């Protein structure tokens, strides 16, 4: 999933939050599989971690844009 992915660009804050939550759950499951030596694709850990970070970055930037500048 890249930043240019239309699924991310056109998503609302609620959808992005849900997608981030799903990615964090998947990351948890992958880490559990890694600890029990059942992980088939170790590279998937990195992909999911980075995708979750991308989603959180987009969420935060949209929240800051929506908040009025109070200074």
Confidence check: pLDDT of 70 > 70: no
**Domain total of the chain:** 1
Distance of CA 5 to the CA centre of its chain: 13
Q: Is residue 25 part of a domain?
A: yes
Tokens 């997608």 identify what position? 19
Q: Is residue 51 part of a domain?
A: yes
User: What does the alpha-carbon distance between residue 49 and residue 44 come to, in Å, rounded to a whole number?
Assistant: 8
User: Virtual CA dihedral for 16, 59, 44, 6, nearest 10 degrees?
Assistant: 60
Integer-rounded Cα Rg, in Å, for the chain is: 15
Q: Residue 67: its pLDDT value, please?
A: 84
- Indicate which CATH number applies to the domain containing 29: 1.10.287
Confidence tier at 38 by pLDDT (50, 70, 90): very high
Tokens 């999911």 identify what position? 48
Q: What is the mean pLDDT of residues 8-12?
A: 85
Confidence check: pLDDT of 47 > 70: yes
Residues of the chain with pLDDT > 70: what percent? 90
Q: What is the mean pLDDT of residues 31-50?
A: 95
Q: The tokens of 29 are what?
A: 């499951």
């Amino acid at each position: 999933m890249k930043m240019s992915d239309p699924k991310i660009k056109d998503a609302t804050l609620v959808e992005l939050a849900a997608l981030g939550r799903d990615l964090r759950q998947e990351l948890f499951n992958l880490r559990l599989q890694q600890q029990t030596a059942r992980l088939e694709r170790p590279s998937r850990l990195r992909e999911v971690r980075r995708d979750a970070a991308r989603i959180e970055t987009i969420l935060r930037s949209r929240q800051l844009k929506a908040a009025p500048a109070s200074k």
